[in-house]
Amino acid sequence: MKGKIIVITGEQGSGKTTLLLNLVSGLKKLGLKPGGFIADGFWELNKRSHFDLVDVKTSERILFCHRAMQLNWEKAGHFYINPAAVTFGEKILNPAIAAQSDFIAIDEIGPFELADKGWKKSITNLLKVMPEKPMIWVVRYSLLQIICESFGVQPEIIIHSGIQTDGWIEKVASLIQNNK
């Protein structure tokens, strides 16, 4: 599979989501319509306590995962995943919804997807149904190669968080606009 994939990468806590938010904001200012979601993290006692999943188009949000055990929520790493949030994300990644956007942001793709859970089916479907739809993925650097192999993609642009990012908005916008 080949898609127009832009990857924001870096290690845990390196500012990947912040970089994605800045990129999405800049692309919106250029008149591009976003789709997808971000995982907005919250801290308690110097640890990530939970994440909300936020629709980048509507700003609607839902509790995505929490460090505290939740009844009937599947554990993934240190967190328990809200099944309603998975459904929320799958709806956002539905091709009928995604078709209304110029690009799709997905924060973040990781171990859950490698275990054929989370957004794996939705992303695979988007790549199949809309192979030219530009997507911006957030992926930890340590998982970048295996994630790309798992989805059969070669990113067109890789942006490393924490490294000078001037000019990336224009470069990404150019790739997206070439799709229109």
Q: What is the pLDDT of residues 74-91, one digit of tens each?
A: 998 889 999 999 999 999
With tokens 């859970």, the residue in question is 117
Q: How far apart, in Å, are the Cα atoms of 67 and each of 35, 43, 70, 180?
A: 27, 11, 9, 41
pLDDT class of 3 with cuts at 50, 70, 90: low
Residue 6: strand, helix, or coil: strand
DSSP state of 50: E
pTM listed for this prediction: 0.93
Q: What is the pLDDT of residue 82?
A: 96
Q: Residues, the chain, total?
A: 180
Three-class DSSP category at 87: helix
pLDDT band at 15 (very low <50, low <70, confident <90, very high): confident
Which residues partner with 51 through β-bridges?
41, 65
Model pLDDT for residues 130-172, shown as the tens digit of each residue: 999 999 999 999 999 999 999 999 999 999 987 766 788 898 9
> Tokens 């993609």 correspond to what residue?
153
pLDDT at 1: 44
In sequence order, which residues have a C-beta less than 8 Å from that of residue 13 and are 6 or more positions away? none
Q: What is the pLDDT of residue 76?
A: 86
